[in-house]
């Protein structure tokens, strides 16, 4: 699947999306792109929460529209509460009490596409690439940095979490690109040796949706992939 992205002098013109839904028919990862702002957001809904896919979707949309700030989170919370279903049976209400939670990664393309500003809460990961070579990752730099308890943004809590932020200069890269990836697939990339990483990126860039889904299913069956939703949003 390809989505339009605002052209820049670095020729970022398209986004390739690869998705495998594991926890439900549509999964709990959600992404949003705001072409005019040059902003992308990817949020990973926590499977332990209630309706976390819908919360991740609302959060990603508001962060892409408004940037990584408290005001965007508050707008997401208001809209999520406004549109949530009416009260259900006792089991639904008990599940709702757990709250809805998600990670967030926001990437803003700088002027002329010469830099990126990344803001993260949790372990959804930015990769910067030169061709198929992995140059940099943020906020996680090695596969041991992932855990079952990442920092999350909740739908109904008073405190606003702080984003971790970084600016990445792309000068010196011959074929720069970047990718946003949720934790299970990001950990797979970071655990691989350099040559295997290149092959993984080549695969992500060329595999059809059906081939990617079959690859994910095999990996989870054999244990080479954590059983989770997988999303890669790669901008080139």
Can you list the alpha helix ranges (DSSP code H) found in 124-228?
183-191, 194-206, 209-222
Which range, 47-61, 83-97, 143-157, 167-181, is most confident?
Answer: 167-181
What is the rounded CA–CA span in Å between residue 200 and residue 190? 11
Q: What is the mean pLDDT of residues 183-210?
A: 97
Show the tokens assigned to 142: 């090695």
pLDDT in tens, 50-88: 788 999 999 999 999 999 999 999 999 999 988 776 666
Compare 208 and 92 and report the one with higher pLDDT. 208
Q: What is the pTM assigned to this prediction? A: 0.91
Banded pLDDT at 92 (limits 50, 70, 90): low
Distances (CA, A) of 70 to 49, 51, 63, 74, 184: 21, 22, 9, 6, 27
What is the rounded CA–CA span in Å between residue 105 and residue 103? 7
Show the tokens assigned to 149: 């308890």
Please tell me whether residue 109 adopts helix, strand or coil conformation: strand
- Indicate if the pLDDT at residue 187 is higher than 80: yes
Specify the pLDDT at position 159.
80
- Beta-bridge partners for 42: 31, 105
Specify the pLDDT at position 10.
55
Specify the pLDDT at position 4.
44
Q: Answer whether the bond into residue 13 is a cis peptide, omega within 30°.
A: no
Domains belonging to the chain, first-starting first, are 2-235 (3.60.40.10)
Residues 6+ apart with CB under 8 A from 52: 28, 45, 46, 100, 101, 102
pLDDT in tens, 13-23: 788 999 999 98
Q: What percent of the chain has pLDDT over 70?
A: 89
């Amino acid at each position: 699947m390809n989505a339009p992205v605002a052209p820049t002098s670095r020729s970022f013109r398209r986004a390739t999306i690869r998705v495998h839904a594991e926890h439900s028919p549509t999964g709990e990862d959600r992404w949003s792109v705001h072409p005019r702002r040059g902003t992308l957001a990817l949020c990973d809904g926590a499977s332990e929460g209630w309706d976390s896919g819908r919360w991740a979707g609302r959060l990603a949309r508001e962060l892409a529209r408004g940037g990584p700030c408290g005001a965007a989170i508050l707008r997401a919370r208001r809209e999520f509460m406004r549109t949530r279903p009416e009260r259900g049976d006792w089991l639904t209400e008990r599940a709702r009490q757990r709250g809805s939670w998600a990670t967030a990664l926001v990437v803003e393309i700088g002027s002329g596409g010469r830099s990126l500003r990344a803001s993260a809460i949790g372990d959804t990961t930015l990769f910067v690439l030169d061709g198929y070579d992995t140059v940099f990752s943020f906020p996680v730099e090695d596969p041991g940095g992932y855990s079952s308890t990442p920092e999350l943004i909740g739908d109904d809590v008073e405190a606003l979490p702080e984003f971790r932020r970084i600016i990445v200069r792309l000068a010196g890269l011959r074929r720069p690109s970047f990718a946003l990836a949720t934790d299970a697939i990001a950990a797979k990339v970071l655990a691989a040796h350099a040559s295997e990483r290149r092959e993984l990126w080549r695969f992500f860039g060329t595999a059809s949706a059906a081939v990617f889904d079959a690859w994910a299913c095999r990996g989870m069956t054999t244990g080479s992939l954590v059983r989770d939703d997988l999303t890669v949003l790669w901008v080139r």
